[in-house]
Structure 1
Amino acid sequence: MSQLSIYIHWPFCEAKCPYCDFNSHVRKSINQEEWTKSYISSLKYWAQKFPKSKINSIFFGGGTPSLMSDRAINEILSTIYKHWSIPSDIEISLEANPTSSESKKFKSYSASGINRLSLGVQALNDKDLKKLGRLHTAKEARNAFDIASCNFNRVSFDLIYGRQYQTLKNWESELLDAIKMTMGHLSLYQLTIEDNTRFGQLFSKGKLRGLPEDVSSVEFFNLTQKVCEANDLHAYEISNHCKKGQECKHNLTYWRGKPFLGVGPGAHGRVDINKKRYMTEAPSNPELWLNQVQNSEFKNFKFEQISHTAHAEEYIMMSLRLKEGMNINHYTNLAKDELPNDKVKQLIIEKLITLENNILKTTKTGKLLTNYIIRQLLC
């Protein structure tokens, strides 16, 4: 039996955060019933293509999927359970904002089958939350975490560091505070300025002040690793830290290059048919996606075969983010070729990677230069 994961993308938010370049949109009103029917139609379409698959994980992302109605979550999960084989230990995650209105739904989400919650906290002080365009307060974030911990066995939350005018001392204090709260998993992202965002626009005009310089960015990263390791939160991926056994199974699907379905506006997927890898992509515009699904125009969605080379390159880019590294034999099997031996040797000499028992990993120094290492290996 083939194995799949499923990603459900809910594209709507109450407001667009100034740093966010995800496929998220603000709408005055949303017909939840209409959207739920379309998600169900889309899932049934994929069930016809992959009817005998075991679903390893389900992830509701966005956007802000905690804006979905209880009924929508329940009906979508019921559809998945009806059409595929579901193991008893399946991980079902949902991203949520910590506003008081959304945290009231946590109990019903748990009853529907959600068993892992990921909270978009981003900062633990009101001043920085306001700068980041967040609609919740630090108090609401803590309250939401308390409510979540009473309803879910697994709760993670996100923080952004390297924020405007943030000092290393302040970040260390905030991180230690977060570690006291955590149930065993933290996602810690250094603020990245993307072009197609409000922050990107301000930065291009020289109006986004107080960001760390390159040297400071390295110090922020190193401090984050040091503090987390000292508190038994290992970095199983560049930005994700957890206690043993608390890794996010769904995200490991991406980083290990396993197949998954993407459902919803702008959702990407990777599926295998007859030992060939295909990429799928839905229209990113919410209304266009809705219209095409309602008219069963799935033929308009992207469904393209990926070459052996492209598949192997994706594996390099994703697996090197992991502490466990990449399996050379698996790469060779995908690429029908070997990694450039001269490049590998040079990276070992530079002490950026290690290669033992056919497992290639980045070193502590190399982790900071992951993109450089990837470029070298793809030459």
Structure 2
Amino acid sequence: MTAPEDLALYVHWPFCVSKCPYCDFNSHVRAEVDQAAWRDALLADLRHEVALLPGRRLRSVFFGGGTPSLMPPATVAAVLDAAVAAWTPAGDLEVTLEANPSSVEAARFADLARVGVNRVSLGMQSLDDDALRFLGRAHDAREGLAALDVAQRVFPRVSFDLIYALPGQAMRAWKAELARALAFGTEHLSLYQLTIEPGTRFATEAAAGRIVIPDGDTAADLFELTRAMTAAAGLPAYETSNHARPGAESRHNLAYWRYRDYAGIGPGAHGRRGRLATTRRRKPENWLTAVSRNGHGIEREDPLDPHTRAVEALLMGLRLTEGIDLDRIARLAGGEAPVDSRAVALLERQGLLARNGAHLRVTDAGALLLDGILGAVVRAQTAVAV
């Protein structure tokens, strides 16, 4: 008997206490939230996906946002129970919830663990109070560390995020902060360089010259330091910005990067349902109205042609340290993999790519230039055999 195909479920909770100036995620501040209405709507949106994805094995569930630690544990439980009842849960089902490290949200951690959350991802962002104020965070370093302590006592698996390459951040300061972060002993760290995203308050500040992020050489030095320190501590990079002990990688995020199917419910959630890309309505009120009217919050369902699927798998997979299987990419393409072999050969000679038969990966040196490498290796659709 063939085993059911693995599936990941993403649940988007769009609400935050405040909007951070660097954030371009689908997050919204609302004075009041009708919790019962939101629970019912999420369950309806989930039922729609269940009907279209029958007989799957549920490998991971990820509650993202926004700030899903603001969700009532009863809502988390209702969604989890419905998902597990509809699909076949993996024996080691990973259930992740993103949380802000505030004392109010930490008070809910035990209840969230009781309803099935077994992995938490804390948005610490910094261990320095000045940096936290600059980033517009509502917590200070002491409150964040207290929440981390609670999380480590309550959840079997803990990760937290830090943002570096801040304006004026010296190498020695980041080295000290990262060393402190590694000393807490979590199994996973997500370490992101600050980027100025269009439409954010930081974009306005940067355009006016009031924010200047480190130049390319400085950012590269910080990136290399980060990789060296995490590897030495036993948490090597397994993706561009994610570091974990072997075996502690985020299974949910690996589903994205390995280009597996995933269902996405809630405002603005994306999904991949075989050869179809799904997109939910972004604005919370519009999504609620759509669910009430249609039984789901879908705004678009876009067919994915073989070339597009192959390119998406290529671009996502090369973010991973493990790299990609070009034979699988070719199968997705329905013929030849959309890879520029001359560009690959040149990048190999430069030490930026490594190829072994059908296996292709970006080297440590190449990770510094990932965006340029991705742009170079993808071959135009007109050159793909059909």
Please say whether Structure 1 and Structure 2 have the same fold, judged by a TM-score greater than 0.5: yes
Counterpart amino acid of 1:218?
Answer: A
Counterpart amino acid of 1:235?
Answer: A
Q: CA deviation at 1:295?
A: 1.6
Q: CA deviation at 1:297?
A: 5.2
The question of whether the paired residues in 1 share the 8 Å contact of 2:44 and 2:295 is answered with no
Match of 2:258 in 1: 256
63, 68, 74: which one aligns with 1:71: 74
Match of 1:316 in 2: 314
Which sections of structure 2, spanning at least 5 residues, go unmatched? 380-386
Match of 1:337 in 2: 336
200, 208, 218: which one aligns with 1:216: 218
Separation (CA, whole Å) in 2 of partners of 1:265 and 1:27? 14
Q: Structure 1 residues 279 and 265, CA, compared in 2 at 3 Å: closer, same or farther?
A: same
Q: Structure 1 residues 82 and 297, CA, compared in 2 at 3 Å: closer, same or farther?
A: closer
Q: CA deviation at 1:299?
A: 8.3
Mapping for residues 281-296 of structure 1, pairs under 5 Å: 281-296=279-294
Match of 2:11 in 1: 8
The question of whether the paired residues in 2 share the 8 Å contact of 1:39 and 1:264 is answered with yes
Separation (CA, whole Å) in 1 of partners of 2:308 and 2:117? 34
Separation (CA, whole Å) in 1 of partners of 2:323 and 2:85? 36
Match of 1:270 in 2: 272
Q: CA deviation at 1:234?
A: 0.7
CA deviations over 1:29-87 (Å, ceiling 9, x no partner): 11111100000011111111112111110000000000101111111111112211112
Separation (CA, whole Å) in 2 of partners of 1:289 and 1:237? 32
Match of 2:248 in 1: 246
- Give the superposed CA RMSD: 1.1
Q: CA deviation at 1:342?
A: 1.4
Counterpart amino acid of 2:281?
Answer: P
The question of whether the paired residues in 1 share the 8 Å contact of 2:44 and 2:296 is answered with no
Q: CA deviation at 1:182?
A: 3.0
Q: Structure 1 residues 300 and 189, CA, compared in 2 at 3 Å: closer, same or farther?
A: closer
Separation (CA, whole Å) in 1 of partners of 2:256 and 2:90? 19
Match of 2:370 in 1: 370
The question of whether the paired residues in 1 share the 8 Å contact of 2:101 and 2:123 is answered with yes
The question of whether the paired residues in 2 share the 8 Å contact of 1:156 and 1:182 is answered with no
Separation (CA, whole Å) in 1 of partners of 2:51 and 2:59? 18
97, 100, 116: which one aligns with 1:97: 100
| Matched position secondary structure for 2:294 | coil
Separation (CA, whole Å) in 2 of partners of 1:182 and 1:196? 36
Which sections of structure 1, spanning at least 5 residues, go unmatched? none
CA deviations over 1:152-208 (Å, ceiling 9, x no partner): 110000000001221110000000000001321100000011111000111011111
Match of 2:383 in 1: none
Counterpart amino acid of 2:233?
Answer: N
Q: TM-score, normalised by structure 1?
A: 0.97
Q: CA deviation at 1:300?
A: 5.3
The question of whether the paired residues in 1 share the 8 Å contact of 2:287 and 2:297 is answered with no
Q: Structure 1 residues 93 and 262, CA, compared in 2 at 3 Å: closer, same or farther?
A: same
Separation (CA, whole Å) in 1 of partners of 2:277 and 2:140? 39
Counterpart amino acid of 1:361?
Answer: R
Match of 2:183 in 1: 180
Task: Kindly tell me the number of residue pairs found equivalent between the two proteins.
Answer: 374
The question of whether the paired residues in 2 share the 8 Å contact of 1:256 and 1:319 is answered with yes
Separation (CA, whole Å) in 2 of partners of 1:300 and 1:180? 43
Separation (CA, whole Å) in 2 of partners of 1:116 and 1:92? 6
Q: CA deviation at 1:298?
A: 3.8
Separation (CA, whole Å) in 2 of partners of 1:190 and 1:161? 5
Match of 1:54 in 2: 57
Q: Percent identity?
A: 39
Q: Structure 1 residues 261 and 368, CA, compared in 2 at 3 Å: closer, same or farther?
A: same
Q: CA deviation at 1:364?
A: 1.6
Separation (CA, whole Å) in 1 of partners of 2:296 and 2:131? 42
CA deviations over 1:272-298 (Å, ceiling 9, x no partner): 1xxxx1100001111000111012254
State whether structure 2 residue 125 is matched by structure 1 residue 122.
Answer: yes
Q: CA deviation at 1:3?
A: 2.0
The question of whether the paired residues in 2 share the 8 Å contact of 1:7 and 1:58 is answered with yes
Runs of 4+ deviating beyond 6 Å: none
Q: Structure 1 residues 269 and 50, CA, compared in 2 at 3 Å: closer, same or farther?
A: same
Q: CA deviation at 1:245?
A: 1.0
The question of whether the paired residues in 1 share the 8 Å contact of 2:288 and 2:297 is answered with no
CA deviations over 1:140-159 (Å, ceiling 9, x no partner): 11110110111111000000
Separation (CA, whole Å) in 2 of partners of 1:22 and 1:184? 25
Q: Which moved more, 1:348-357 or 1:259-268?
A: 348-357
The question of whether the paired residues in 1 share the 8 Å contact of 2:267 and 2:297 is answered with no
Separation (CA, whole Å) in 1 of partners of 2:51 and 2:92? 24
Mapping for residues 149-168 of structure 1, pairs under 5 Å: 149-168=152-171
The question of whether the paired residues in 1 share the 8 Å contact of 2:45 and 2:297 is answered with no
147, 151, 155: which one aligns with 2:150: 147
Match of 2:384 in 1: none
Q: Which moved more, 1:365-374 or 1:55-64?
A: 365-374
